[in-house]
Amino acid sequence: MKKQWWQEEVVYQIYPKSFYDSNHDGIGDLRGITEKLDYLENLGVTMLWICPIYQSPMDDNGYDISDYKAIAPEFGTMEDLEELIGEAGKRGIKIILDLVVNHTSDEHEWFQKALSDSGSRFHDYYIFKEGGQIPNNWRSVFGGSVWEKVPGREEYYLHSFGKKQPDLNWENEELRRELYEIVNWWLDKGIAGFRIDAITFVKKDLTWKSKEPDGVDGLSKCTKSSRNQPGIGVFLRELKEHTFDRYPCVTVAEAPGVPYGELGEFIGENGYFSMIFDFRYADLDIDSGSEWFKRVDWGIKDFRDKIMDSQMALQKYGWSANFIENHDQPRAATKYLKDGQDNPEAVKTLAAMYFFLRGLPFIYQGQELGMQNFNRGSIGEFDDLSSIDQYYRAVEEGYTKEEALRFVNLRSRDNARTPFPWDNTQYGGFSVHKPWLGMAEEYPRINARAQMGDKGGVYEFYRSIIRFRQKGPYRNCLIYGRIEPVLSSENVIAYKRYTQGETLLCWFNFSRGKEVEMLPDGGMEPVWQSYGEVCFHENGLELQPYQSVMLKLV
């Protein structure tokens, strides 16, 4: 693949509402991010992805935009954003923003005009269907029908997500042109690119037919009818040609459900995007991303197979975006390590395993501290609309309230959205005001102040692996090298990274016990390990509990 500037980045994802509250109203904000740039620079990240900061009624924390060119007042002003871009730039840190163009808020001016005048051009910016009954049985991602009745009219509008998030009608060319103008307006401001929200939802099944029900509610997941539909490529290519192609920008698309065989169109040489997120391994504990009550038993072997399949598929066509957490996922330490989450060495093995994969590493705020899921005692303690829906869906499907709460605790998006723990004082130093969402329970123990400078801690480990990838002697191989799985025992994930002149073999032990791994023929020299010594054994390499080791072929 042709070298691109963005292959060398390390991305840090910020959920602005929960990062740092600079004016003490309980809500994180843009100035809060600017005030914490030293922390991010010290960590070593080179690019920030900031979740939506646009004007919004915040029904889905900003993924419901009511004005694409205005900043949400709770987050600050356009000057605050410009200051953040400038200050970050001085530290060599680039900024990418979230681009949400599958839907707007129902409070967006376009939708308001569409509602008040069904003859206006804005009516066709959205998807309305006339008639006395619900047009079909598609279920929205956040629960219930995708159709919401327009008050006072025999008409429904479609929303793939929440009812305050009406889908835009991408079949309308005038609308598409308006969106492209907005994208370019932001790129002109000097941002480095976008993370693109729910982009595979922009094309719908235009027959609007009902599908076989897949739940006791008689509905059928809308992802079968409004995601990755034939013909979507025409829109995505046009989007790219009118916007991204005109700037030296980077794009990372949230594109769940793209079959591996179609990756070439998405991320190949002339693909729609620079990268896409692959959710197959992130969702290994559930049957589908949108049904948390369908739990799946899994072991490290399943994790390894999914990770390696994903890497091999992405490598075939382009570059990957590697992540173990984001604002929609549970905390990685809890999800992937189960009872190992309290062991910092386990957290480090997970970190190193995904960090040294081929592609761009994404770190979600708090992941670098080894933050954990919380355990809320009642559904009333959740803020996230999806968590609340999942609870009632599980009950409707026949689970007890206790079981439903367990599913939600394991999967809730609020797990990752708790305010960032800067220290162990009240509200974790996030704010002096009661935060909008309760802190994670472990914050007195797991917080930035406690970990910065602690050589054995998770934060310093992240710093060291970032430095090793970016500036270490094996930088070229770790960034640009190819990847291939290496045979390993049940609880170990192993792969090799290689260029023409160099081969690095990496093992990550996810077990509480020692493991002995077979070594390939040839001389081998240790180049890095997460802790302790590298121990060779008569039968190969002896990994210590939760130890990661990298050897170089000599």
> Could you give the residue numbers annotated as active site?
197, 254
* Amino acid identity for residue 412 in this structure: S
Give the contact letters, 312-331, x = binds to ligand NOJ (CB under 6 A), - = no.
---------------xx---
Is 291 a binding residue for ligand NOJ by CB under 6 A? The answer is no
CB of 290 to Ca ion, least distance (A): 32
- The encoded tokens of residue 250 equal 């980077």
Instruction: Give the nearer residue to ligand NOJ in terms of CB position, either 9 or 60.
Output: 60
Please pick, from the candidates 10, 11, 27, 58, the single residue that binds Ca ion as defined by CB under 5 A. 27
Compute the C-alpha angle 321/327/329, nearest 5°: 80
Instruction: Give kind and range of the element (H or E) at residue 360.
Output: strand 360-364
Q: Give the Cα separation of 345 and 549 in Å (integer).
A: 12
- Nearest to ligand NOJ of 266, 510 (CB atom): 266
CB under 5 to 8 A by kind: which of ligand NOJ, Ca ion, none does 272 bind? none
The site partner of 138 among ligand NOJ, Ca ion, none (C-beta below 5 to 8 Å per kind) is none
Please say which residue, 63 or 354, places its beta carbon nearer to ligand NOJ: 63
Q: Which of residues 21-50 bind ligand NOJ (CB under 6 A)?
A: none
- In 3D, which of 28, 12, 31, 36 has the Cα closest to residue 94? 12
Nearer to ligand NOJ, 201 or 510 (CB): 201
Q: Contact letters (x/-) for ligand NOJ, 89-128, by CB under 6 A?
A: -----------x----------------------------
Name which position in 146, 198, 267, 534 contacts ligand NOJ (CB under 6 A). Answer: 198
CA angle 62, 67, 69 (to 5 degrees): 105
On the CB side of 67, CA atoms within 13 Å amount to: 7
**Among Ca ion, ligand NOJ, none, what does residue 148 contact (CB within 5–8 Å per kind)?**
none
Q: Which does 199 bind (CB under 5 to 8 A by kind): ligand NOJ, Ca ion, none?
A: none
Instruction: Draw the binding track, 61-80, toward ligand NOJ (x: CB under 6 A; -: no contact).
Output: --x-----------------
Report, in Å, the least distance between residue 90 CB and Ca ion: 23
Nearer to ligand NOJ, 197 or 345 (CB): 197
Quick check: 145 and 221 in contact, CB under 8 A?
no
- The three-class DSSP label of residue 221 is strand
Q: Do 419 and 18 touch, CB atoms closer than 8 A?
A: yes
Pairing of strands 286-288, 291-295: antiparallel
Alpha-carbon gap, residue 392 to 402, rounded angstroms: 12
Instruction: Give every CB contact of residue 95 below 8 A, 6+ residues apart in sequence.
Output: 47, 48, 50, 84, 85, 88, 191, 192
What are the residues facing 55 on neighbouring strands? 67
List 68, 161, 462, 507, residue binding ligand NOJ (CB under 6 A): 161
d(CA 435, CA 427): 7
**How many residues at the interface with Ca ion, by CB under 5 A?**
5
Residue 161: contacted member of ligand NOJ, Ca ion, none (CB under 5 to 8 Å, by partner type): ligand NOJ
Task: Rule CB under 5 A: choose which of 4, 8, 25, 171 binds Ca ion.
Answer: 25
Alpha helices by DSSP H, listed for 70-171, are: 78-90, 109-116
Least distance to Ca ion, CB of residue 38, Å: 19
**Residues, the chain, total?**
554
Q: DSSP code of 400?
A: -
Question: Is there binding between residue 60 and ligand NOJ (CB under 6 A)?
Answer: yes
| Residue with Cβ nearer Ca ion (21 or 98) | 21
Of the candidate residues 254, 278, 389, 414, the single one contacting ligand NOJ (CB under 6 A): 254
Q: Are 106 and 165 in contact (CB under 8 A)?
A: yes
| Nearer Cβ to ligand NOJ (349/387) | 387
- Provide the β-strand partners of residue 252: 195, 275
In the shown chain, the binding pattern of residues 3 to 22 toward Ca ion, with x for contact by CB under 5 A and - for none, equals ------------------x-
User: Which lies closer to ligand NOJ via its Cβ, residue 65 or residue 524?
Assistant: 65
Least spacing, CB of residue 102 vs ligand NOJ, in Å:
7
Tokens of 348: 């480090």
Interface with ligand NOJ (CB under 6 A), residue total 9
- List the interface residues with Ca ion, window 162-191 (CB under 5 A): none
Indicate whether 23 belongs to the interface with Ca ion (CB under 5 A). Answer: yes
Q: Are 357 and 383 in contact (CB under 8 A)?
A: no
Residues 6+ apart with CB under 8 A from 216: 396, 397, 398
Residue 458 interaction partner, one of Ca ion, ligand NOJ, none, beta carbon < 5-8 Å per kind: none
Round to whole Å and give the CA distance between 265 and 270. 7
Angle at 307 between CA 301 and CA 309, to 5 degrees: 100
Distance in angstroms (rounded) separating the CA atoms of residues 535 and 543: 7
Nearer to Ca ion, 81 or 175 (CB): 81
The residue ranges that bind Ca ion (CB under 5 A) are: 21, 23, 25, 27, 29
The residue ranges that bind ligand NOJ (CB under 6 A) are: 60, 63, 100, 161, 197-198, 254, 327-328
